[in-house]
Amino acid sequence: MKHRLRTYSVVTVVVAVSITALAAGCVGPSTLGTDDRQTNEEDAASPVDASPAPIESPGSSTSTTPTESSELPTSLADPEDTTAPAPSVAQSTTTLALTSTLPRPTLATEDTSDWRLVLNDDFAGTTLSSLWNTCHWWQVDGGCTIITNDELQWYRPEGVSVRDGALRLLAEAIPQQATDGRTLPYRSGMVTTGRTTSDMSIPPKFAFTYGFVEAAMTLPTAPGTWPALWLLSADNTSLPEIDIMEWYGRRPELITMHVHQRVDGNAADTGRSIEVADARGSTHVFGMRWTTDGITFYLDGVESGSVTDPEFIPTTPMYLIMNLAIGGGNAGTPDATQSPQELAVDYIRVWQEAP
């Protein structure tokens, strides 16, 4: 979903750890982040080969822990600024042996017998697992957004629930006041395994390097909605970013998958837009395999595109994000009469290949 981290107003800014005042005059990182993801929905993917990888379970100890307490540069608020080095982040992962009793990927053509399930949340019960936070790390009082995408929602915990065997992210036409004083017309929900703070000494809830991510999701139905499943760098920077799925209510027949990276000092992206039957209200399984050789995207278990240019392949830990944004150039103008809208997630899993 490409939430850029560039503007630090009241919307979410994946801003620097050390920021004490944002452009909007707020203390601490702006909850109005910026996003490097203004992708062109017409982009064609550069095909590449990649190999699947494994996951871990919500209750497990898989996590990414900083090797040192590094402070992110305030220039992080501008993804185009490469003058400051990113902090180093190490990863420690506890995995589960993948047996016949544990879920397997939907891939039909891959031998996944040696893959290890490292994350598995099927959203049973009525309580959100402690694996998840309900706002980006630049949140203030539990609220956040990404202003640079012209998004119209303010993420709040009230927009997140677990019931009837699914995670439910609900967007409603309930005006919300952002931290910079502006009013956003929608309240919505998101979850992330990243931090809730700019303090790099606190590890993300779950982050990993290389693996296979898979989630079954039922999309909303209205124009102006923008659901996404994506990864961001565990060092609290805006790049790299992997968009496993983005869907725009304005273009219900299009599903996009992209990789955003810094190439030669500039933000760049590459990926694939897939035409499908009208996807409004439909359920699909979205997958992404990330290896040292490339990134391959899957739709309902079938390979749909890949990226093999080494300059675009992330090599450091990343964390998960699922959200339902409203508005923005790609999503189109929302229709308040079709509120509320929901993104339902039946399950999300991550596997990694056995060493």
Alpha-carbon separation of residue 294 from 14, 218, 315 (angstroms): 26, 27, 10
Burial class (CB in 10 A: 0-12, 13-18, 19+), 71: middle
Enter the tokens of residue 261: 């990276």
* Structural domains in the chain (count): 1
pLDDT digits (tens), the chain, 355 positions: 544 433 322 232 222 222 222 222 222 334 566 665 554 444 433 333 333 333 333 333 333 333 332 222 222 223 333 333 333 333 333 333 334 457 888 886 678 888 999 999 999 999 999 999 999 999 999 999 998 889 999 999 999 999 999 999 999 999 999 999 999 999 999 999 999 999 999 999 999 999 999 999 999 999 999 999 999 999 999 999 999 999 999 999 999 999 999 999 999 999 999 999 999 999 999 999 999 999 999 999 999 999 999 999 999 999 999 999 999 888 999 999 999 999 999 999 999 988 7
pTM: predicted TM-score of the whole model, two decimal places: 0.76
* Single-letter code of the amino acid located at 3: H
The answer to whether the CB of 53 falls within 8 A of the CB of 210 is: yes
Enter the tokens of residue 159: 């927009």
Q: Taken in order 285, 298, 118, 353, is the CA torsion positive or negative?
A: positive
The answer to whether the CB of 260 falls within 8 A of the CB of 36 is: yes
Please name which of 93, 90, 89 lies closest in space to residue 116, comparing C-alpha atoms: 93
- CATH number for the domain harbouring residue 134: 2.60.120.200
Range of the domain at 163: 3-353
Kindly report the number of other CB atoms within 10 A of residue 259's CB atom: 28
